[in-house]
Structure 1
Amino acid sequence: MAHLQQTLARTPAGDAPKPQTGGLSPQRERLVKQLILERLDQSLEVTELARACALSRSHFSRAFKCSTGLSPQDWIRAQRIARAKLLIQHTDLSLTQISLECGFCDQAHFCHIFTRSEGINPFAWRCRVVKGL
């Protein structure tokens, strides 16, 4: 006990972990993530997500990033890429069909975002995954 008190006495007060504040409530975070995932194939506006949480756009964006570590747009993009990877791996859909299923405006945009995210284009990724099976 005395050792613990000595250790705490030597620890600067500023080093204590601070509770995270400013994020979305667990209910709002769950709600908005569910909304995003249900409508991943559609165009999603941050304003619409903020409205679903009854928050202003700027407050929602800050709170979402505080809760998830990513901006709403980055989180949506990551979910679209994750879904695309599942579709590439487990279906025979064309890359054009996959891009539309995942909410990208066209195949070129999908290929650009996928390559930027994964370091390889989706066609090459599909070849690598299929070869690995």
Structure 2
Amino acid sequence: MPGARLSALNRRVAMYPGTPEAPLQTPGALTPARLRRAKELMLHSPLSIIEIAAVCNLTRSHFSRAFKVNTGLSPQAWRLLARMEKAKRLLATEAPITHVSLECGFCDQAHFTRAFSRLVGQPPKAWRQAQTLS
């Protein structure tokens, strides 16, 4: 409920002239700039979560808690889901599955296939074939 109270408070504050236009931040959350930077690093760099936390000037545990407040997911889960979304976009092309796995940050195709199957419910090749039939 803290989020609902914060939203209500933001609406009340906005009714008064001369108040800041920027909404109040959810307690324990990352600033928008830190969240944007962390997501950018998770998507486009091989840095570990500990290294990304250090870039944000936070400990790993504080960063993980704050990231979850913002996104509802742990940094690891968010990164994996983002990789899978990228993989789906690449699988919609004719790129080889090996290329897709490497482009999405997986060490090899077997690891990618296991992760994709676990999250999507079918292997990449079957998913690609199902998409071309639809």
TM-score by length of 1: 0.80
**Structure 1, unaligned runs of 5 or more:** 1-13
Q: Which residue of 2 aligns with 1:37?
A: 43
Aligned length: 115
Alignment of 1:116 with 2:118, yes or no, is yes
Match of 2:32 among 26, 37, 52: 26
Q: State the shift of 1:17 in Å.
A: 3.0
What are the superposed Cα offsets for residues 68-101 of structure 1, whole Å, 9 maximum, x if unpaired?
Answer: 1111111110010000000000x21111111000
Specify the SS of the correspondent of 2:4: coil
Higher RCO (Cα < 8 Å, 6 or more apart)? 1
Q: Which residue of 2 aligns with 1:95?
A: 97
Percent of residue pairs bearing the same amino acid type: 47
What are the superposed Cα offsets for residues 42-81 of structure 1, whole Å, 9 maximum, x if unpaired?
Answer: x331111101111111111110111111111111100100
TM-score by length of 2: 0.79
Q: Which residue of 2 aligns with 1:80?
A: 83
Q: State the shift of 1:18 in Å.
A: 3.4
Structure 1 runs (4+) deviating above 6 angstroms are none
Specify the SS of the correspondent of 1:18: helix
Specify the SS of the correspondent of 2:53: helix
What are the superposed Cα offsets for residues 84-119 of structure 1, whole Å, 9 maximum, x if unpaired?
Answer: 000000x21111111000001111111111111111
Q: State the shift of 1:16 in Å.
A: 9.3
Cα distance in structure 2, aligned partners of 1:15 and 1:105: 40
The residue identity in structure 1 corresponding to 2:4 is P
